[in-house]
Structure 1
Amino acid sequence: MSATDTALRLLLWATDRSGPEPPPAGDLSDVGALAEPPPEVRQAAVGLAARTAARLRLSAPPLGDGRPVTCGVVLLAAAAGAWPGGGAAADLLGAVARSCSAYELLARHGLAEALLAAGCDPALGGALRDFSPLTALLDEPGPGGPARCELVLDELLADPEGRNLFTLAFAAPPATDGQSAWRGEVLAGLLPAEKELVLDVYETAMPQAGPAHLERVGAAARRLRPPSDLAPAAATARWWQALARLDRTEGEGLRSRYGLSGHRPGLDLYWQMFRLGVLG
């Protein structure tokens, strides 16, 4: 199977995602053809971008950016489909441009999200997060760190639909401890400039997924009993950090916001971890 066939099959698989089929795999023969992918491969990349935009409730053009999908997502798909590929797949990633349009950003996110959900190799997962900054922002950064997430965050917050996407994603119950800690760091970093957005996240979280968030709080609290396990508890507590800080500065005002009903156990957990010196 050629590199273009590998990329095409994986892009179509990520676009469909309707069944339990594992991601297709291939090799990187004829890798030079990826520089000018055939029309069907380009169309598959465009289709993945459009499907991802629709799923995330983004109108066309997403985030006000009408620039097209490039071959970056095609290279990423080829590398992922041939992973680990004896090092050739990792080498191919070196040709993937770091900067990209909004459509390209969405295509990469659609591909990365599908592969991560399928339980891909952890090293591939890290590479996907590094080359898909939207995935890194909504999930957690890869080995390359969070620097590129900041650029994507600015793009989202400059657009009304992007702000809604951010709110819904960060209000959802975290899937992992790493995701919980990362989202907490981002929310805390938005204060004080984006106080209303941060409150929107918590006011969306409690009515829609309050029981799930409080279940995580309860599980974290149980980890504090001997023999204690502080790291997972700290990750859960960090998600509540921004709200805990706001509660200290304007607690009376927060108590009048009905969307925050039931939030107190999360704040109690945060301050307990703070007093233990685990969180600053």
Structure 2
Amino acid sequence: MILRAASGEEGGFTPPGPAEFDLPPIGGSLGSFDAFGQTFEIGVTKPMIQLVLVALLVFGLFFAASRKQAMVPGKLQFVGEEAYGFVRNSLGRDIIGSRDFQRFVPYLFALFFFVLFNNLMATIPVIQFPTFSRSGMVYALAALTWIVYNAVGIQRHGFVGYFKHQSVPHGVKGPILLLLVPLEFLSNILVRPVTLALRLFANMFAGHLLLILFALGGEYLVLEMGGAYAAVGVLAWILFILVAFLELLIQFLQAYVFVLLTAMYIGSALADEH
């Protein structure tokens, strides 16, 4: 839940921070280990359960939508077909190209709705926690995309040919290659999964942190400060509601951008020229 006591031990306002995202294991810790100068607990956390629930939800929803196919679709089938068509056409065919896109549509489709539904977890009452505000989960998802686009690129061009394809700009010759080749290699092979993950993680983290700030700040101003500060607290709650609606748009856009970039990376790996 977002709302909690806003005052610190000495009576002042305690601003929310990264500690708000460190959720304890459900049912207690199963153990711990030390690494990088820190102690990490082993256990099942809320974001882990959300990942499983969303995976089951995505599978169950679209399995139900496709189970009874009819010439005149029902409401659920219509929604499923429209969702599939959106990903297939705008994120598959238009980005990867009509020659190769079809075999990647299942991955793009599952990826889009998996990311979207996990993002929406931040808005669902009681849950109210964005799964991908935990960076490790986003990096794992970006690593999967990294494996996919590099694997298909190597399959298309060969191992040496693919890395040459990704590192040597077409039509560029001469000493400038000494500068461009390392930069292209870093950008296309090493940096892409990092920036792909950071974009999603940072938006989910910052958006949720902003909501906590408005909610707790408004609570503190109304309940603790009172008087003229109460009006500012009410304004903070109004901003909380407005930002919550804005977050719905951001949650959709971040899922779209994540899959759009995935499709672009796959398309560039399959392209004949860099």
Q: Do the two structures share a fold, i.e. TM-score over 0.5?
A: no
- Bin for the TM-score computed over the shorter chain: under 0.3
Q: Could you state the TM-score of these two structures normalised by the residue count of structure 2?
A: 0.24
- Higher relative contact order at CA 8 Å, sep ≥6: structure 1 or structure 2? 2
